[in-house]
Chain A
């Protein structure tokens, strides 16, 4: 374990450091929230009989928080925290301990969040929590680990570049958010990854992995008081941290109407969308329902039109991807290149229709039912419940499902229309939708695409 976490863990206070309060939620029997005096927050939910306990530790740090010359450091750190060092004594054998306990373990990084999780057998919860906490707060990696993980991350990046839409998405982000970390790939780029030193990573860990940025969620076959005690004597007693975090700058996107990429693909990939105000905005429930009306399920508008009626494609997409203060809403399809014009027109018409006329009551009811059903299926598992509550905590939203369900129930056709108009209606100063297209290269373009590929594959 690194020096700093050792010191932190030794700084044990004598008095209770976390305040526990019940959280109301329909159907949840023992759901409690913890607020710790050092700024950390946690949620505990008891689910007897589920057989495992899902532990998630989330850190409010992602690619948005990175200096431009250290793009990818959040994700690289996530990889490195699983490393245990080399030589005779492993410095932080947390990952090995989790595996020995029978835990299913993983982690992920996105624009605003890095999360670590372990699903542990119910009778190994104590050691599972201790190990995951040690994994997140310790830094056992050495220089050799850094070199190896850098190579692994570059391989991961190469994997991501096989998807034409992922490549296009990052190219678009770079153009929409120039000189902003939002415009950089979460995974980073070869140049920045090569320049990141062990000292950089350790400094990033010290700066961002502080209690006020950490949330913990424990869901499963464990007595709630037991789980609360585990959290209190570890996370609750971490010193507050050495620095206060800066607020994230408000993004300033640059406007373009169309992004076109020609490359070595055989199909046409089309996406039409708009920027949205983010998950913490009151518009978020309406956007979730609009995505459902548009493209979720076989009775959605895009499915009925593009699949059932026009038989253009069954590869359709309607998404509402929300970060805290900004997001995206879009409709997309993969089609034969010869039918791209037809698909392009259909996507545009359907998106604009949402901003032109209110959805019918029947459509809204279907979307509401489907959204509630999706929530019910997501929260069947300890993992699904923990993921939901972690995200809500990190966004500063209530961890209970009830406010979310109530917001979905309150939304009216007029609300959905107003949000669609504001985001992509194109009237009264509102922007129109933006098109992103990846099309097969033609003629000499194929040569250019091949040349780009030869350079690109090297990241």
Chain B
């Protein structure tokens, strides 16, 4: 069935747009659930992500970690099939189903050969909407989650995050870090059940699908699985970040690799600014671009230079991170700050911007070679209530970025004093 383009009400659901392939065909169900599907012809694969709004940002203080537990509990599935049945059915067909959680959403994602799409979609959506949520399962998942948190403490990367978050986002949900000694102690099964009822409701659900299938058929299957879900309430928007009061911290830790973060919390970045942000980020920390050239290529101090680029509604972050010998931490910080100030005051050259546009367009094409990459891109847009642009529109968005756009964005992002954190 090929559906006509344009908004219309038909058969009890709202058709938002439905071209045959890229961009995605989309539906909104009467209960508020958003569905999107894109054909990835010839790939022989599928991928989908079912997102429920209300991630860690929505966890109450005493329930920090609930958003991590909830999707794990879904993989215990229903009474029949149980979690093992679900895993067996998917894996025998060559597919995998995993739980995920983040600041904005939690959910299940799957990928595999396209022949398994219908079966895995049905099993996963059933598991997400009608999980058994038993106390014994919760205790197991809490034990496992605590163990994972403890193992992460052996990773120096987690030390940087634990030291930086409270400074970057004081008094904000993004600034919280779990206490390994008390993690999840206050979370009971009724809390999990209440969170599931609130978060896995129609208005909060987004299902994105990409693969070697007919988008209309995929939307039809998804509609049948999701249409009976109660609408519920929409998610609470994240609060705006407060200005950081403490701007510097040094975390002492025995490590062979001291690391540095220079970060700027933001009040969020709308999708209109995403292409310019991509270009800005590339010019600063792309391979052999400005900061990499200064710290790595010219001086040989670092093996890697990277970034934290968080873009949530109403709150976000851009940070440069690198690892240098301890005696070079101050010098590296000075270089990063100098480069951020330079791009905020002086537009980059057209050649730099053009190089960034080209490499970013290649990265986009690479991402679109995977069904999972397409689903991830769709999820980014659709969970924000926005239609996923066609690939051509994304490329055009990059082409439209000017050097001045980049400078103006940098001036806006880097106006305040940065938060600087070192782990050494």
Q: Show the binding face of A for B, using Cβ within 8 Å.
A: 27, 49-52, 95, 99-106, 119-121, 147-153, 155-156, 158-159, 161-164, 264-267, 297-299, 303-304, 307-308, 311-315, 334-336, 365-366, 369-374, 376-377, 380-383, 450, 453, 456-457, 459
Task: Provide the residues of chain A in CB contact with B257, threshold 8 Å.
Answer: 155, 158-159, 161-162
Given known contacts A267-B154, A366-B92, A119 and B366 CB-to-CB distance under 8 angstroms? yes
Would you call B288 an interface residue if the criterion is a C-beta within 8 Å of the partner chain's C-beta atoms?
yes
Instruction: Known pairs A155-B325, A298-B86; list 6 more (Cβ under 8 Å).
Output: A102-B358, A152-B300, A159-B256, A298-B87, A366-B88, A376-B45
Name A104's contact: one of B92, B302, B303, B363 (CB within 8 Å): B363
* Cβ B143 vs Cβ A311 within 8 A: yes
Task: Give 25 pairs: A residue, B residue, CB < 8 Å, sorted on A.
Answer: A95-B288, A102-B359, A102-B362, A103-B362, A120-B362, A152-B300, A155-B323, A161-B256, A298-B87, A307-B144, A311-B140, A313-B148, A315-B147, A315-B151, A334-B147, A336-B150, A366-B92, A369-B91, A370-B94, A373-B93, A373-B95, A373-B96, A373-B116, A376-B112, A380-B370
Would you call B274 an interface residue if the criterion is a C-beta within 8 Å of the partner chain's C-beta atoms?
no
Task: Provide the residues of chain A in CB contact with B366, threshold 8 Å.
Answer: 52, 104, 119, 381-383
Task: Provide the residues of chain B in CB contact with A119, threshold 8 Å.
Answer: 362, 366
Given known contacts A102-B358, A314-B148, A50 and B369 CB-to-CB distance under 8 angstroms? yes
Q: Tell me the smallest distance from the CB of B279 to a CB of chain A, in Å.
A: 13
Q: In B22-38, which residues have CB < 8 Å from any A CB? A: none
CA A162 to CA B155, docked complex, whole Å: 7
* Cβ B302 vs Cβ A380 within 8 A: no
CA A434 to CA B88, docked complex, whole Å: 30
Q: Tell me the smallest distance from the CB of B363 to a CB of chain A, in Å.
A: 6
Would you call B252 an interface residue if the criterion is a C-beta within 8 Å of the partner chain's C-beta atoms?
no
Q: Tell me the smallest distance from the CB of A388 to a CB of chain B, in Å.
A: 14
* Cβ A104 vs Cβ B369 within 8 A: no
Would you call B43 an interface residue if the criterion is a C-beta within 8 Å of the partner chain's C-beta atoms?
yes
Name A336's contact: one of B93, B147, B156, B362 (CB within 8 Å): B147
Would you call B255 an interface residue if the criterion is a C-beta within 8 Å of the partner chain's C-beta atoms?
yes
Task: Provide the residues of chain B in CB contact with A453, threshold 8 Å.
Answer: 254, 256
Task: Provide the residues of chain A in CB contact with B111, threshold 8 Å.
Answer: 377
Q: In B156-197, which residues have CB < 8 Å from any A CB? A: 156
Q: Tell me the smallest distance from the CB of A342 to a CB of chain B, in Å.
A: 12
* Cβ B113 vs Cβ A373 within 8 A: yes
Given known contacts A313-B147, A376-B112, A121 and B94 CB-to-CB distance under 8 angstroms? no
Would you call B248 an interface residue if the criterion is a C-beta within 8 Å of the partner chain's C-beta atoms?
no
* Cβ A299 vs Cβ B91 within 8 A: yes
**Closest A residue to B157 using CB positions:** A162
Task: Provide the residues of chain A in CB contact with B144, threshold 8 Å.
Answer: 307, 311, 313-314
Would you call B368 an interface residue if the criterion is a C-beta within 8 Å of the partner chain's C-beta atoms?
yes
Q: Show the binding face of B for A, using Cβ within 8 Å.
A: 42-45, 75, 83-84, 86-88, 91-97, 111-113, 116, 139-141, 143-144, 147-148, 150-151, 153-156, 254-257, 287-288, 296-304, 323-325, 355, 357-359, 361-363, 365-366, 368-372
* Cβ A162 vs Cβ B88 within 8 A: no
* Cβ B369 vs Cβ A162 within 8 A: no
* Cβ B369 vs Cβ A297 within 8 A: no
Name B113's contact: one of A51, A106, A307, A376 (CB within 8 Å): A376
**Closest B residue to A297 using CB positions:** B91
CA A308 to CA B363, docked complex, whole Å: 38
Centre residue among A369, A383, A453 by max chain B CB count within 10 A: A369
**Closest A residue to B97 using CB positions:** A298
Name B365's contact: one of A52, A307, A371 (CB within 8 Å): A52
* Cβ B359 vs Cβ A299 within 8 A: no
* Cβ B303 vs Cβ A27 within 8 A: no
Task: Provide the residues of chain B in CB contact with A366, threshold 8 Å.
Answer: 88, 91-92
Task: Provide the residues of chain A in CB contact with B140, threshold 8 Å.
Answer: 308, 311
* Cβ A102 vs Cβ B91 within 8 A: no
* Cβ B358 vs Cβ A457 within 8 A: no
* Cβ B113 vs Cβ A297 within 8 A: no
* Cβ A51 vs Cβ B369 within 8 A: yes
Task: Provide the residues of chain A in CB contact with B363, threshold 8 Å.
Answer: 104
CA A4 to CA B387, docked complex, whole Å: 55
CA A326 to CA B354, docked complex, whole Å: 47
Task: Provide the residues of chain A in CB contact with B362, threshold 8 Å.
Answer: 52, 102-104, 119-121
CA A298 to CA B287, docked complex, whole Å: 37
CA A380 to CA B372, docked complex, whole Å: 10
Q: Tell me the smallest distance from the CB of A288 to a CB of chain B, in Å.
A: 14
Name B112's contact: one of A50, A106, A377 (CB within 8 Å): A377
* Cβ A315 vs Cβ B288 within 8 A: no
CA A50 to CA B391, docked complex, whole Å: 12
* Cβ B303 vs Cβ A298 within 8 A: no
Task: Provide the residues of chain A in CB contact with B357, threshold 8 Å.
Answer: 102
Task: Provide the residues of chain B in CB contact with A52, threshold 8 Å.
Answer: 362, 365-366, 369
* Cβ B112 vs Cβ A373 within 8 A: yes
Name B256's contact: one of A50, A158, A382 (CB within 8 Å): A158
Task: Provide the residues of chain A in CB contact with B156, threshold 8 Å.
Answer: 162
Name A299's contact: one of B45, B84, B94, B323 (CB within 8 Å): B84
Given known contacts A374-B94, A377-B111, A381-B369, A299 and B88 CB-to-CB distance under 8 angstroms? yes
Task: Provide the residues of chain B in CB contact with A153, threshold 8 Å.
Answer: 303
Task: Provide the residues of chain B in CB contact with A147, threshold 8 Å.
Answer: 300
Given known contacts A377-B111, A377-B112, A50 and B92 CB-to-CB distance under 8 angstroms? no
Task: Provide the residues of chain A in CB contact with B153, threshold 8 Å.
Answer: 266
**Closest B residue to A298 using CB positions:** B87
* Cβ B94 vs Cβ A376 within 8 A: yes
CA A164 to CA B151, docked complex, whole Å: 11
* Cβ A264 vs Cβ B355 within 8 A: no
Task: Provide the residues of chain B in CB contact with A314, threshold 8 Å.
Answer: 144, 147-148
* Cβ A376 vs Cβ B254 within 8 A: no
CA A106 to CA B362, docked complex, whole Å: 14
CA A450 to CA B113, docked complex, whole Å: 49
Task: Provide the residues of chain A in CB contact with B150, threshold 8 Å.
Answer: 266-267, 336
CA A153 to CA B304, docked complex, whole Å: 11
Task: Provide the residues of chain A in CB contact with B112, threshold 8 Å.
Answer: 373, 376-377
Task: Provide the residues of chain A in CB contact with B301, threshold 8 Å.
Answer: 151, 155
**Closest A residue to B180 using CB positions:** A266
Task: Provide the residues of chain A in CB contact with B368, threshold 8 Å.
Answer: 51
* Smallest CB-CB A-B distances: 9 pairs: A373-B94, A102-B358, A151-B300, A51-B365, A298-B87, A148-B300, A156-B303, A311-B140, A299-B87
